[in-house]
Chains A and B, each alone.
Chain A
Amino acid sequence: MSPDPSAVDAVIDAVSAVFMIVGAVMSLAAAIGLLRFPDLMSRMHAATKPQVLGLFLLLVAVGLQLRTWWVWPVLLVAWIFQLLTVPVSAHMVGRAGYRTKHLHKELLSTDELEAVVLKAAEAAKERD
């Protein structure tokens, strides 16, 4: 018994609809995180992670809706692009944030980088 094509169609539609809704909610999660977290670093977590998952789900939804095989490589390339760029930009922003003291020290339970940075700063001073 082969499955009815229109039923398969309906299932694919439903799956992509769910993916679209969850993807949109992930964007909302990023925005809520941006608004609610106390400092730059935790906001960065909110900005990076839901973005990647959200785009993944939405691209899968696009692929499911179009129903042709050749869109999948394009979508995969678009997603891998995002995978490669998002951590880099987050790292750059985080590094700049740490160096310019955008961190709330009282919110950290441990900070193992502080000693290293202080030592490096002292070494730089001695060289001058």
Chain B
Amino acid sequence: MAPETNPGPVQSLTLGKALNLGLRTAMERDPKVIVMGEDVGRLGGVFRITDGLQKDFGEHRVLDTPLAESGIIGTAVGLAVRGFRPVCEIQFDGFIFPGFDQIVSQVAKLHARTHGRVRVPLVIRVPFGGGIGAVEHHSESPESYFAHTAGLKVVSCSNAVDAYWMIQQAIQSDDPVLFFEPKRYYHSGFMKSEVDTSATPDPLFAARVVRRGSTATLVAYGPSVKVALDAATAAEEDGHSLEVIDLRALSPLDLDPVFESVRRTGHLIVVSEAPSESSLTSEIAARVQQECFYSLQAPVLRVTGFDTPYPPAKLEEHFLPDLDRVLDAVDRSLAW
């Protein structure tokens, strides 16, 4: 059934291939796991994340659905009530909104509405973020809408190892999970990692310090983690030791590692592609000032997408947080 014959526990995988293997593993483990979405079957998804799954698991476990996002989510709710564990693919971030009503009104609230009798173990995979030179609605970062909604859990992976484990953990979760995938790194060779499928993964809803430092703290998630890590490497030349934290969990946020870091560094810069207003980055800033008020040497600064519609592709490099904007924010924070 596996694409390669007996590949062994350690495989070198891109983020996209790691997701594919994670999905395959989850489907092998639990016959109630089904994959559904537009073009996920015969085509293997427009990003090929579900490549080969329909061939191996059949049309009743990998569903090429009609082209309607509310339909995908709404029927997945019914399948979950029936006892299935559906993994829905939303083709692009900007196409999730027809399904927004079902996500907010049914997916998020059924468990509470039924006094816990009905669980909705649904995973909604969302390729998100920019940097792929696409047309409108293909580069958005809508995660804050969902983090804002009680009853949903929201995570984002930034690398192949996490992609492999987190998708399986999200599928095993008895709560609905919005799973945001940094689409621009799906097939990046430089993001390839050695994925040890025999390892013990970190918990799903836990942030991770991905680079130790002492001068200032950078917090990021999804595609912005690479930007933060690149900035930390560049800052080293200026003698700045930046700590980088990959949030991984966006709701519930795991901010204890952030508080601990800020208490040491006194400086926090939060990086995200999403617009800043009323967002996850605002939430982080608010909670850090509440918990670390006397440790802060400067206000929490944010490097984000602008509070505008996502721009045409020729302008997106200016819209997206990059190494220089992050370093500029670090300088401003340290000079405060």
Chains A and B form a bound pair:
no
Please give the residue numbers on chain B whose beta carbons come within 8 Å of chain A beta carbons, in ascending order.
Answer: none
Please give the residue numbers on chain A whose beta carbons come within 8 Å of chain B beta carbons, in ascending order.
Answer: none
